[in-house]
């Protein structure tokens, strides 16, 4: 399957250079990181000439980026390198644009502190793709069945570009559409923990596939529970997001509300069934699954319920220290 | 045309290539390296697997200019010049049938054991799950890797 | 008998070249700077008339040498029925069909120019399922059907879309055959009659190597084709026939098949390779290469045809099957030149391995506007066995008889009359059943001790259940009666040998098996034997590498060639060493030398004479280079029989039989099936290489399991395949294999096979679908009658509580996604299962 478009290839060494190239070729340029989405797209279609801007030769600290922060966060300038995963004070995580799913899996930092990212990365395609595919590329392609979306939603991740910082929830505007402007480049994803330092968290990522091997998600769910020890009582917050069952990955605020009410003092399972009933009833209003050749809308809807039920239970058990190992299969 | 310099199986290569050419095409059509195969050309089958800077990648999903300055190793490059120990296990288990997926599978298994010399059966399966084989049902392939692991572990203990 | 090489698990003789990447596949061959590339212009319509083709823009495009259309090659061709053209002429019949080709200096130029060929179509109604194809007011796909040439055992129905109808009518009282068409009478003596309908969709072979071919027509007018083919000689024959108008004869055509990266039937016969042959003739002196993309591999080679099967079975209270009526409606696709033989083969054998007194089978090859149906591992048997073996369980359930017992009671035995009147061969079916039963008993124990596969905290045992399923299978090679093989063995100076045959090493291991056969006869070590890939100029004739007949047929040829050389050695040695040995019968071969029974000290090493001749005291030499030849044809086979009853012929040389079972675990909430254990016992007559037999079981079983669990083809309403890629046509990975596969070898010798061997390669996937379907029924009480049995289908069936008991309504296939699967055939076929009798 030959690529028949004329391709002009650039490998800028700085972000500024890359931005200039984007500005110079507003019509037909395309940023390249891992290439696992871009190259198949080049093969499948497009006869028009393309300008490919490869970001992989950009390295070192990113300088001179004027960040028009839309939220007041601590300066991130000191940590960012687009090829690295870095953390600061165990409060901030930065995943650079060139970080692959393999890098995430190999990172002790991710495995220990952001286990949902680890658990999700483990079911992205297979090794040969994970060695190349980047999580930023994954969100930029904005395919509704992307694996990283739900997890990043539960971590309240933010997308840092050369121009601004965008809450992940606002990043996608439709299937295969992100909100980036023509000359905007994602530098990385940040996760800022706003919670007290003493919190414990656990979660569950579940991906429904046609079989156990490499497959795109028929549906996916991420559940994150943060539990805080305060002087008086323990409190907890639950974050839940779905993938592949709506035009873009979505947070399930309605369910979060129902669960959070009861999860604060979770030591009894006797109200489980009632809580589930209430939560499951809201799902049809949250998601909008379609029927395609990977699954019917009915099956997706049904399985989102099953995954939610099992996922939440496992997440709670993980929080309590009796759950399954991260990376184990649940369906 | 772009001028590309990279290391291929320990040799320095300089080529001029169109940017629409993939690494797989460059290796097979211009450099005579035939072990990476084209099975689907979309990154789904793993037959085109090569090592790029030490990691297994799908050479059908890489544009030639991307490898500028990189280190590329194919199956030809891991034999020096004899079979690797792992290859010998594959041979002894009659692991392959048509052999079309073999170069990619050998490289994936090699990477797996480099990263984790003592994988569990499940980890072996996970490590090889990106390489499609239609002939063997995988059992003789997995058995060969498991045997290699067991033997290596046994040898290490004996030492 | 003690063998030195037979029955031993020798390592593959081609192992090293494969493990090192040295094996050369067709796309690995170099043709130099003069090589041209062809790109195909494909039909976007499932059915349309070609009004006009404008090639001018494409021809003017940079790098383009030629643009070829159907007008350049108005020649029909086909294996069993000449129903297609090299390029579509006048009419296209499936989406993706080749309409034109661009030949250019490089593949990118060819592909760019192909987009510039302007084709004007007049769309016609597309027929996408067998029901529409058979409707009274249907559109005819092949109005010229009656003019097509075909083999004498095909029966096309002019003026319909039925390309072939194989009829079988059997009544053990021969005079009563005519009465079989009176269906009521046929079932009159049954205590129970059960009728049902099963559907199987299309499937793709998915060899990891795509099709490819390179043609070179030199200035001396000789045509050489390098192709990824299972059938080099058949290709030569068809190329020579199709291109005869250009003055080509068989001696001018040469087909070379290097290593082939998997076939499974997909590379049998002639498909895209004829394009390379035809295109080469337009650019004399320059090789032209054509490679199929993965997408083309799906929609423009053969696909496994879909089938709708209606089954009606009559049984006695004791479980004796008295009568079987089966109608097989095959969605054979746009062209059936090969595919109608699938229909024929299935029709002949649709009783399965059972002794049945009264049989009525209609197997219809039906034209549809979907890609051509054709050979696929199992050749129609996997398809009808799904319905038949599912149905037998349903019958057993109603009789309250153990389904295995029911099968044993009716299992075919040596000498029983087959549906077409010939006698069943020696077989170890009962032994296979019993051995599988023993393994199933172990499954019962597993059921109890099996740890939960999910985290303990989540294990709600109510979500999970286990089931066991059992099925029998059989298959005969489907071949023309004169399908034959031949072999030449030649010695080298050091007493190593080359075996020249023209079967194709697709991975099945036939090189190794042929080497073992020659090694046994000639007592030569395996490392001194080379078997080479075929070249029709150099290697002797082989029909095709299909039908699981190579071990048997080519094996016989190699055995004969080795015996021929051995006899020459004995004659030579007994003549030249008269003083030392008695006569020919005194000689034997051992460790690469000739020995004498009567004279223990006598020993002449091969290397001392096989090329050089025997050195005589007077300085002369005796003998000369030794060359053995062998050819094999099943001279007892005939395909000619009564068209109305199928009686009278011997179309099948023998059957290979076996039994299989699976234990499955179902997660009832998700519908997901996991498979702790699968067992398959097969009677291969003699396992020449047990490890290779085992390898076929592992590979074939997984391929079969995938067809029943998730593989499926989706077409949209215009007939375009939606999942012509591995992203959405899922073939199994390492993570999708059963936890355990037990391969059991049964050996009930095939008298006319080499060392008693018969074929077994295809068979290992045939029982996969019914063992799973029966296990699902065992676990859930739900009978799913359409493949694949996806997780989604199970959930839907459970949700709607369908068919939990013996209830009257057949389970309607749950079709979550709009697709063109055949709809119900008729009111009768849709009717509820009939339970009649008392």
Residue labelled with tokens 């071919």? C213
* Residue B59, pLDDT above cutoff 70: yes
Q: Which domains does chain B have, with CATH numbers?
A: 2-77 (3.10.20.30), 85-158 (1.10.150.120)
Interface test with C, best of B60, B94, B110, B125 (most C CBs within 10 A): B94
Q: Which domains does chain A have, with CATH numbers?
A: 7-54 (3.30.43.10), 85-192 (3.30.465.10), 200-320 (3.30.390.50)
Of B95-99, C37-41, C438-442, C755-759, give the lowest mean pLDDT range: C438-442
Give the integer Cα–Cα distance in Å for C131 and C827: 12
> pLDDT digit string (tens) for C430-481?
999 999 999 999 887 665 544 444 333 334 457 889 999 999 999 999 999 9
Please tell me which residue of chain B has the smallest CA distance to A132: B57
Q: Give C419 to chain A, closest Cα distance, Å.
A: 40
Q: What is the mean pLDDT of chain A?
A: 89
Is C181 touching A (CB cutoff 8 A)? no
Q: CB C817 to CB A47 under 8 A?
A: no
> pLDDT digit string (tens) for C154-212?
999 999 999 999 999 999 876 777 777 777 889 999 999 999 999 999 999 999 999 99
Is B123 touching C (CB cutoff 8 A)? no
Per-residue pLDDT at C1: 72
pLDDT band at A196 (very low <50, low <70, confident <90, very high): low
The percentage of chain C sitting over the pLDDT mark of 90, rounded to a whole number, equals 90
Give the integer Cα–Cα distance in Å for C642 and C174: 13
Nearest to B9 by CA among B97, B73, B82: B73
- E strand segments, C696-826: 741-746
Q: Average of pLDDT values for A188-199?
A: 79
Query: Which of 213-242 (A) contact B at CB < 8 A?
Result: 213-214
Nearest to C685 by CA among C495, C414, C463, C471: C414
Q: What is the mean pLDDT of chain C?
A: 93
Better-predicted residue by pLDDT, B157 or C218: C218
Q: Give C506 to chain A, closest Cα distance, Å.
A: 24
> pLDDT digit string (tens) for A68-127?
443 434 444 544 678 888 887 778 899 999 999 999 999 999 999 999 999 999 999 999
Could you give the ipTM of this predicted complex? 0.97
Is A45 touching B (CB cutoff 8 A)? no
**Are residues C799 and C416 in contact, defined by beta-carbon separation less than 8 angstroms?**
no
Q: Average of pLDDT values for A118-146?
A: 97
Per-residue pLDDT at C445: 64
Per-residue pLDDT at A267: 62
B-chain residues within 8 Å CB-CB of A2? 20, 25
Better-predicted residue by pLDDT, C247 or C834: C247
Residues of C taking part in catalysis:
762
Interface test with C, best of B99, B119, B126 (most C CBs within 10 A): B99
Per-residue pLDDT at C592: 97
Give the integer Cα–Cα distance in Å for C100 and C89: 10
Which region holds residue C739: left if phi is over 0, alpha if psi is between -120 and 50, else beta?
alpha
Q: CB B102 to CB C208 under 8 A?
A: no
Q: Give B2 to chain A, closest Cα distance, Å.
A: 8
Q: Which domains does chain C have, with CATH numbers?
A: 15-21+483-632 (3.30.365.10), 31-124+211-291 (3.90.1170.50), 406-479+653-780 (3.30.365.10)
Is C264 touching B (CB cutoff 8 A)? yes
The percentage of chain B sitting over the pLDDT mark of 70, rounded to a whole number, equals 97
Please tell me which residue of chain A has the smallest CA distance to C816: A296
Per-residue pLDDT at B153: 79
Query: Which of 88-147 (A) contact B at CB < 8 A?
Result: 102, 125-129, 131-132
Is B18 touching A (CB cutoff 8 A)? yes
C-chain residues within 8 Å CB-CB of A328? 455
Per-residue pLDDT at A197: 61
* Residue C815, pLDDT above cutoff 70: no
Per-residue pLDDT at A198: 65
* Residue A228, pLDDT above cutoff 60: yes
Is A2 touching B (CB cutoff 8 A)? yes
Per-residue pLDDT at C838: 30
Query: Which of 189-208 (C) contact B at CB < 8 A?
Result: 205-208
DSSP C377: T
> pLDDT digit string (tens) for C315-327?
999 999 999 999 9
> pLDDT digit string (tens) for B19-46?
999 999 999 999 999 999 999 999 999 9
Is B114 touching A (CB cutoff 8 A)? no
Burial (CB < 10 A; 0-12, 13-18, 19+), residue A272, is middle
Please tell me which residue of chain C has the smallest CA distance to B141: C734
Q: Average of pLDDT values for C721-748?
A: 98
Q: Coil, helix or strand for A61?
A: strand
B-chain residues within 8 Å CB-CB of A132? 52, 55, 57-58, 61-62
Question: Which member of C108, C295, C670 has the closest CB to residue A306?
Answer: C670
Q: Give B8 to chain C, closest Cα distance, Å.
A: 16
The percentage of chain C sitting over the pLDDT mark of 70, rounded to a whole number, equals 93
Per-residue pLDDT at A232: 61
Q: Coil, helix or strand for C64?
A: strand
A329: tokens are 């299969």
Interface test with C, best of A293, A311, A325 (most C CBs within 10 A): A293
* Residue C506, pLDDT above cutoff 50: yes
A-chain residues within 8 Å CB-CB of C672? 331
Beta sheet of B55-58, edge-to-edge order = B11-17, B2-8, B71-73, B49-52, B55-58
Residue pairs between chains B and C whose CB atoms are closer than 8 Å: 165
b/e B72-103 (16+ beta carbons within 10 angstroms → b):
bbbbbbbbeeebbebbebbbebbbbbbbbbbb
Nearest to C515 by CA among C551, C564, C544: C551
Q: Average of pLDDT values for C502-515?
A: 98
> pLDDT digit string (tens) for A155-184?
999 999 999 999 999 999 999 999 999 999
* Residue C14, pLDDT above cutoff 60: yes
């Amino acid at each position: 399957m030959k690529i028949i478009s004329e391709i002009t290839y650039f490998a800028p060494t700085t972000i500024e250079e890359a931005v200039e190239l984007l500005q110079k070729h507003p019509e037909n340029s395309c940023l390249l990181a891992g290439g696992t989405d871009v190259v198949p797209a080049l093969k499948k279609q497009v006869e028009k000439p393309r300008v490919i801007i490869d970001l992989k030769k950009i390295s070192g600290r990113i300088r001179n980026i004027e960040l028009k922060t839309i939220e007041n966060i601590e300066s991130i300038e000191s940590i960012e390198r687009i090829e690295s995963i870095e953390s600061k004070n165990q409060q901030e995580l930065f995943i650079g644009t060139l970080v692959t799913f393999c890098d995430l899996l190999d990172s002790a930092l991710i495995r220990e502190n952001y286990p949902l990212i680890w658990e999700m990365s483990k079911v992205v395609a297979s090794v040969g793709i994970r060695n190349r595919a980047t999580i930023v590329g994954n969100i930029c392609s904005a395919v509704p069945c992307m694996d990283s979306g739900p997890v990043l939603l539960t971590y309240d991740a933010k997308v840092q570009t050369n121009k601004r910082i965008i809450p992940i929830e606002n990043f996608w505007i439709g299937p295969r559409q992100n909100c980036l402007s023509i000359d905007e480049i994602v530098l990385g994803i940040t996760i800022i923990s706003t919670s007290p330092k003493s919190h414990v968290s656990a979660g569950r990522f579940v991906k429904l596939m046609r079989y156990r091997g490499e497959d795109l998600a028929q549906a996916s769910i991420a559940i994150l529970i943060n539990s805080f020890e305060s002087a008086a009582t323990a409190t907890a917050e639950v974050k839940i997001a779905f993938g592949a069952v709506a035009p873009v990955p979505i947070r399930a605020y309605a369910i979060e509300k129902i669960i959070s009410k009861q999860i604060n003092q979770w030591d009894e399972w006797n109200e489980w069934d009632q809580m589930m009933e209430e939560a499951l009833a809201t799902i049809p209003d949250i998601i909008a699954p379609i029927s395609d050749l990977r699954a019917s809308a009915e099956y997706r809807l049904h399985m989102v319920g099953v995954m939610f039920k099992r996922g939440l239970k496992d997440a709670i058990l993980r929080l309590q220290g009796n759950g399954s190992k991260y990376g184990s299969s649940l369906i | 045309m772009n001028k590309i310099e990279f290391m291929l199986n320990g040799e320095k290569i300089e080529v001029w290539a169109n940017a629409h050419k993939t690494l797989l095409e460059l290796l097979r059509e211009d450099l005579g390296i035939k072990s990476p195969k084209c099975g689907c050309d979309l990154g789904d089958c793993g037959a085109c697997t090569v090592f790029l800077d030490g990691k297994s990648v799908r050479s059908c999903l890489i544009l030639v200019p991307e490898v500028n300055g990189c280190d590329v190793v194919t199956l030809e490059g891991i034999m020096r010049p004899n079979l690797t120990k792992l290859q010998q296990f594959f041979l002894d288990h009659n692991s392959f049938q048509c052999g079309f997926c073999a170069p990619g599978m050998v490289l994936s298994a090699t990477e797996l054991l480099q990263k984790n010399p003592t994988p569990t059966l499940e980890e072996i399966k996970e490590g090889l799950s990106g390489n499609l084989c239609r002939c063997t049902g995988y059992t003789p392939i997995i058995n060969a890797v498991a045997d290699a692991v067991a033997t290596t572990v046994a040898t290490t203990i004996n030492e | 008998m003690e063998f030195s090489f037979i029955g031993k698990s020798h390592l593959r003789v081609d192992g090293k070249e494969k493990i090192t990447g040295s094996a050369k596949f067709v796309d690995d061959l170099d043709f130099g700077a003069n090589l041209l590339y062809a790109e195909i212009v494909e039909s976007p319509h499932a059915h349309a008339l070609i009004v006009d083709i404008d090639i001018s823009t494409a021809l003017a495009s940079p790098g383009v040498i030629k643009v070829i259309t159907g007008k350049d090659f108005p020649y029909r061709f086909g294996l069993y029925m000449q129903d297609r053209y090299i390029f579509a002429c006048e009419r296209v019949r499936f989406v993706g069909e080749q309409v034109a080709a661009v030949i250019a200096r490089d593949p990118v130029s060819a592909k760019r120019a192909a987009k510039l060929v302007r084709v004007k179509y007049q769309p016609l109604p597309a027929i996408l399922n067998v029901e529409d194809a058979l409707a009274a007011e249907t559109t005819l796909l092949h109005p010229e059907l009656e003019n097509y040439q075909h083999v004498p055992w095909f029966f096309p129905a002019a003026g319909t879309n039925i390309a072939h109808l194989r009829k079988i009518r059997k009544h053990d009282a021969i005079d009563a055959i005519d009465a079989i068409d009176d269906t009521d009478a046929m079932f009159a003596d049954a205590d129970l009659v059960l009728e049902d309908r099963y559907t199987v969709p299309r499937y793709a072979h998915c060899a990891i190597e795509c099709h490819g071919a390179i043609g070179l027509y030199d200035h001396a007018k000789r045509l050489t084709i390098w192709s990824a083919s299972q059938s080099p000689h058949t290709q030569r024959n068809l190329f020579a026939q199709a291109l005869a108008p250009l003055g080509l004869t068989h001696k001018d055509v040469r087909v070379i098949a290097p290593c082939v990266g998997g076939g499974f039937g997909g590379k049998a016969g002639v498909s895209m390779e004829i394009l390379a042959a035809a295109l080469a003739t337009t650019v004399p002196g320059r090789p032209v290469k054509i490679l199929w993309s993965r997408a083309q591999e799906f929609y423009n080679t053969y696909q496994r045809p879909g089938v709708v099967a209606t089954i009606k079975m009559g049984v006695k209270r004791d479980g004796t099957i008295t009568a079987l009526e089966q109608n097989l409606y095959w969605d054979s696709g746009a062209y059936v030149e090969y595919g109608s033989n699938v229909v024929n083969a299935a029709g002949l054998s649709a009783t399965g391995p059972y002794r049945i007194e009264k049989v009525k089978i209609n197997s219809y090859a039906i034209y549809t506007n979907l890609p051509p149906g054709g050979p696929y591992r199992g050749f129609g048997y996997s398809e009808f066995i799904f319905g038949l073996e599912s149905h037998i369980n349903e019958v057993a359930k109603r009789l309250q008889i153990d389904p295995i017992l029911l099968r044993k009671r009716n299992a075919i035995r040596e000498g029983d009359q087959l549906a077409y009147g010939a006698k069943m061969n020696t077989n170890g079916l009962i032994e296979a059943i019993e051995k599988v039963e023993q393994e199933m008993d172990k499954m019962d124990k597993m059921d109890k001790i099996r740890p939960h596969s999910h985290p303990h905290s989540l294990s709600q045992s109510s979500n999970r259940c286990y089931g066991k399923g059992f099925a029998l299978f059989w298959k005969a090679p489907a071949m023309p009666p004169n399908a034959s093989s031949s072999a030449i063995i030649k010695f080298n100076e050091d007493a190593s040998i080359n075996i020249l045959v023209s079967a194709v090493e697709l991975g099945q291991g036939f090189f190794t098996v042929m080497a073992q056969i020659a090694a046994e006869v000639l007592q030569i070590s395996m490392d001194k034997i080379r078997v080479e890939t075929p070249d029709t100029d150099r290697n002797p004739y082989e029909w095709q590498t299909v039908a699981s007949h190579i071990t048997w047929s080519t094996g016989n040829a190699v055995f004969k060639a080795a015996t021929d050389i051995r006899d020459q050695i004995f004659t030579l040695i007994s003549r030249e060493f008269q003083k030392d040995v008695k006569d020919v019968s005194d000689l034997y071969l051992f460790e690469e030398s000739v020995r004498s029974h009567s004279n223990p000290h006598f020993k002449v090493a091969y290397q001392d004479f096989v090329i050089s001749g025997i050195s005589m005291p007077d300085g002369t030499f005796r003998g000369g280079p030794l060359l053995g030849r062998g050819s094999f044809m099943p001279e007892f086979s005939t395909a000619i029989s009564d068209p109305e009853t199928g009686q009278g012929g011997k179309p099948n040389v023998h059957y290979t039989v076996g039994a299989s079972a699976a234990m499955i675990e179902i997660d009832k909430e998700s519908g997901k099936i996991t498979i702790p254990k699968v067992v398959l016992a097969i009677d291969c007559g003699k396992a020449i290489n047990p490890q290779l037999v085992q390898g076929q079981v592992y590979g074939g079983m997984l391929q079969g399991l995938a067809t029943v669990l998730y593989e499926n083809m989706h077409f949209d309403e215009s007939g375009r395949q939606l999942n012509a890629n591995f992203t959405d046509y899922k073939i199994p990975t390492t993570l999708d294999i059963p936890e355990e596969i037990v391969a059991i070898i049964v050996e009930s010798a095939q008298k006319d096979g080499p060392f008693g061997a018969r074929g077994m390669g295809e068979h290992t996937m045939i029982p996969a679908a019914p063992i799973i379907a029966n296990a699902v029924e065992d676990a859930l009480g739900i009978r799913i009658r359409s493949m694949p049995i996806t997780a989604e289908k199970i959930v839907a069936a459970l949700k709607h509580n369908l068919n939990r008991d013996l209830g009257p309504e057949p389970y309607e296939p749950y079709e979550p996604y709009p697709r063109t699967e055949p709809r119900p055939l008729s009111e009768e076929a849709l009717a509820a299962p009939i339970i009649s009798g008392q």
